[in-house]
Structure 1
Amino acid sequence: MEIGTKIGGRYKVLALLGTGGMAHVYLARDLILDRDVAVKILRFDFQNNKEALRRFQREALSTTQLIHPNIVSVYDVDEDDGLQYIVMEYIEGTDLKEYIQQNGPTTPENAIHIMSQVLSAMALAHQNRIIHRDIKPQNLLINKENTIKVTDFGIAVALSHTSITQTNSLLGSVHYISPEQARGSVTTTKSDVYALGIVLYELLSGEVPFDGESAVSIALKHFQEEIPSVRQMNAAVPQALENVILKATAKEPADRYNTCEEMQRDLLTALNPSRLNEAVFIPEAMLHETKVLTPIQPATPVETKAVPIVEEPEEAEESKKNERQNKKKKSKRSILLIIFFILLAAFGALLAILWFNRPPEEVEVPNVVNQQEAAARTMLTDLNFVIGDVETEYNPDVAEGAVIRTNPEAGEMQAVESTIDLVISQGEEPVELPDYRGEKYADVRSELRSMGIKVEREDVYDDSDLNTIVSQSIAPETEVIPSETTFVLQVSLGKQTFTMEDMAGYSREEVERFTDEFGLDLTIESEYSADVAEGLVISQSLKPNSNFSAGDSVTVVISLGPAEPEIFIFSKAITIPYKAPTTPPRNDNGNSGNSQSESSSAEVEKNNHIVIYMSDLDHQMTEVFREFNITADTQVALNFRIREGETGAYRVERDGEVIMEEMNLKE
């Protein structure tokens, strides 16, 4: 199945989560409800098997009825182009198998907490007449909150009925198979109870009770060998808790718990003080072992016949003789009886001598391991033992204040009033945590886990190198108890990156708002543009859709609008010719005036009246540029200011007549 494929037009495949004996499980996104889901798809080699398909669909549909906080919810069951699939709740965490591999044997308290959740879920399943048939740690999911979710209900039914010869597929489950399943007998709810007992054993010991080179050899051990003692693997396990395992994994189903509720009730009281001295559980089947009896032989019948008695003289004499012999025998018996009583008295005297000279009485040293010191002292002194030296040492497997071992050891025979030395646990040895900042997370995690410390990771964006530790929840040089410690490490994801937006058309205010939000170092430049309106972005140095981090620099060019055309300034020198008047001056009456009037009129007649018109950036031809009189040829400089691409012009009138004109002037 390729990543990105849409199943049923709704579930987009994001990643492969795992592969099982008959199905593949993918992480997918529900495009309608916008949530992550787990999609289990039946393997291709089962797609054409009608019996497997029928059981797969029936069991999957029946599982949708199971609504329980410790059961993975089934959202959908459907088919897409021949692919049978189940859509389930996605649990972010790990399975119990990996949890055990990472953490090793767990404490009795934690084992009870985990198994109580599983038993609660299985009780509901059994009430709905659903037998799991494949209980194993791989099918028990656990999240960060230590919440258990049971999954894979009913899938093993199709496998066990159609592919019993697939040894490699069954190998993952054969470690938890019940004796009746191994023999091919009918599977019941008590088969699930057996598997739950094996899971509890593995939680407390860190390993399965039966292992071998092949699935067949392991299956044989389930109904031929007794389960090993979990207390030999984990001394912290009390007998009452081991009894839960022994009863759940009894070879005969009749000796097991009748229901998961019954097993749960027994499990929850296993650590009660009232069950501290509980005897080892022995199944009924072992109490009623078959005895071979010697057959009684019937007596052989003796045939009797009636014989007539005839009294004869010779026989009478013989009778008297026998009577005398009987008297002698009685006399001998009396003598023997007297001798017997004499010997009996002598023997009694000998026993009395031996009794008063017997060696001191010996008593078996009791097992006080895991008992608190006060309780251990009481148990030993009640048997007339004397407490000797008491030493202490660290021990992670024995509670603080409890007995680690005795000398002599438990089970040895010792004379009363003998001295018994005790070694008392100081609990788990504390360790000092160093400063891990700047170190690689993977290396530190391995080190801490080997010490038994639970590690949690928090990812943060930072300038530090990728996957290096930025900070730690516990200060350096602090002493902690490993099993009681959760160590939170903040780990660098490197600089946080963002996707650059296309800011074309942004205003300056919008640009500044964006760069301030993401911590960009902004430089604004301006230039003219005939295509982009004034005040809007023309271009940016960081390309749209590229990645950037806070602190990066970006240059944005904002439009000044269309550029002003270039102004050219130049001068045009012209010479205006003077024209002398050709007629004498006359007054209005045709008479010459006095001398003063005549002199003034002559001066006016000698002047040429000049008007100049000019066209440039500052003037128009319709407006007078200059107006003056001349009495001789006069040179004038015309200063033009012309826009690029435009031209200038001028026109000169003398006494109302155009005498000079020039158009399309350029620099």
Structure 2
Amino acid sequence: MEIGQRINGRYRILKPVGSGGMANVYLAEDLILERQVAVKLMRYDFRNDESSIRRFKREALASTELIHPNIVSIYDVGQEDDNPYIVMEYIKGTDLKEYIRENYPIPYKKALDIMGQILSAVEYAHQNGLIHRDLKPQNILIDDDDYVKITDFGIAIALSQNSITQTNSLLGSVHYISPEQARGGMATKQSDVYSLGILLFELLTGNVPFDGESAVSIVLKHFQEPIPSIRESDPHIPQALENVVLKATAKEKEQRYQTVQEMADDLETSLSPERADEPKFIPVNTSMEETKQFQPISVDGDTASGKTAETTVIAPVPDADKVQTQPEENKKKKRKKWLIPVLLLLATFAAFLVFLLSGTDDVQVPDVSGMTEAEAVQALMQANLVLGETILESSEEVEEGRVTRTSPAGDSTVKEDAAVDLFISTGKETVEFQDYTGEPFEEARARLTELGFIVEQENESSDTVEAGYIISQDIEAGDEVVPEETTVTLTVSEGRAGFELRDLANYSLRGVQDYVRDHDLNVTVEEAHSDSVPEGQVISQKPEAGTLVYADSHISVVMSLGPEEIQYETIDVTVPIPYKAPEETEQDSSEEQPAEGENGEKENSGEPQETRTPNTIQIFIEDTENNLDSPYRELEITEDTEVTLNLTLEEGTKGRYRIVRDGETIIEEEVEA
């Protein structure tokens, strides 16, 4: 991966920060959220291995469910050019291995604080059904404030079940591997407890308890040699604290702490004065108590060579002093002189017979893969081999109850009577189904599909679950299922059950009230006049008819008050109309001005009114009853005349009148009610 390269168009690679057994880790910038993240990419030599890819994705998705302050957060999981990647929280600091190297010796309380954070995270993972399998200081990050974050939860399983040998990566893990894992057994919660005990040993001493030139030599020490005493390197360490290490690293997992929380509780009080006189914890190694001699499994009492294997047991000779009386002491001493060489000779001869009968020829381990356990045992017997341990393991290819492999492997060469371990299939690997109720359907569907499940969807309305979220699932949480063989149906909320609002036009108020009561609606009623809708019926509604509404929704209606009563007002207007003689010209009128009378008004010419030519007057009115298209009144005048006009108007409206004299408009005014 080159610096500056982008993953999924979003994560820009800044620099490499580390590498592991299956993946390389880079510091990157999230271009959308503008923050630094760590991107883990599967190594090139694993990209063509379908099993590794599937497990990488499966464990990565499982890790996204772990939300704990001491576990590195997983932000995103995806694939770029057939290369799976995980985007996680970037921790600015160092790993615990480097921290111990730089800070040893670490004060006891500081060591217990660091260990307490680790235990809290692992206990949380165990509660969520996830075993780490590869706990080591390289997978534990610590920042500048001594805050611990664990990473790589479960990724180690892909390496442990992969046919590719990663010697360098294994060397980093074998120092912390449990005896049962070293023997090829399945990892359990107690396997993580053992690794935690080794971590605590290293925090307190600065070193791992077992080291060697090869991974094999270190692995052998884990189940053959007792854990070294940490008090020999530091006598000031309380015995109670050493006991935590000893109990966590017991060879037999049944003698270890059964839960991480139990170990955390014991560790918390290990510096307490009340435990100062605590005796040393000495685990009982049942596997080392006695050496068992495997005998050839006979068919009808005979071995393959036709002879019955016999074992000669030489019992120790009782002390003659304890079975003879004192007077016989001299006889006993004489007998001892010739009895001891005879016994030695017999013992040597018996050992030689056992050697001859035991069979030292090389035989080939039969390939019993796919056989039932009974068939495999029969095949081993016929090959002059004995049954060792029977170990259960999951298998994607081998049917449940049949042999997946042997140790030593089939077709390999061993001595006669060698023990062969059988690995029996428990079927395809199962996962514990989680509780997805209350989660967004699309997110859950993506995760389940990635795990291999077939996901089906059913929709259902709900008043309590938000639309798009899961109401229920047809597989109970905690059930062990095989993802590739399982179809899960998720019931998804459509939100509250809605219905289309009816058209309430022309409903009476009583009808509206009945409708909202039957549908659990709330209503606001307003009133307005209407010329088209009869009084007491609905004029309009909000929301409109056909709108999707829900129980407790709010609607409003406007009820008709019928037509609004019009208020009219009569306006009286007195208008003076001046008389104008038709023959007058502008010049004449300027030369001959009538004399003013005594009251100051201009007097008409001395021409008698009856001889004057009358003006034809047309009066036009615009009100509620008249318009300006036809005359309201016509008259003739021979002198200045006042007329009173009556206009009928609605309140707030305007009217108009116009005076036309001899075809010429001389007055036009507006009137406001």
Structure 2 length as normaliser, TM-score? 0.43
Structure 1 length as normaliser, TM-score? 0.43
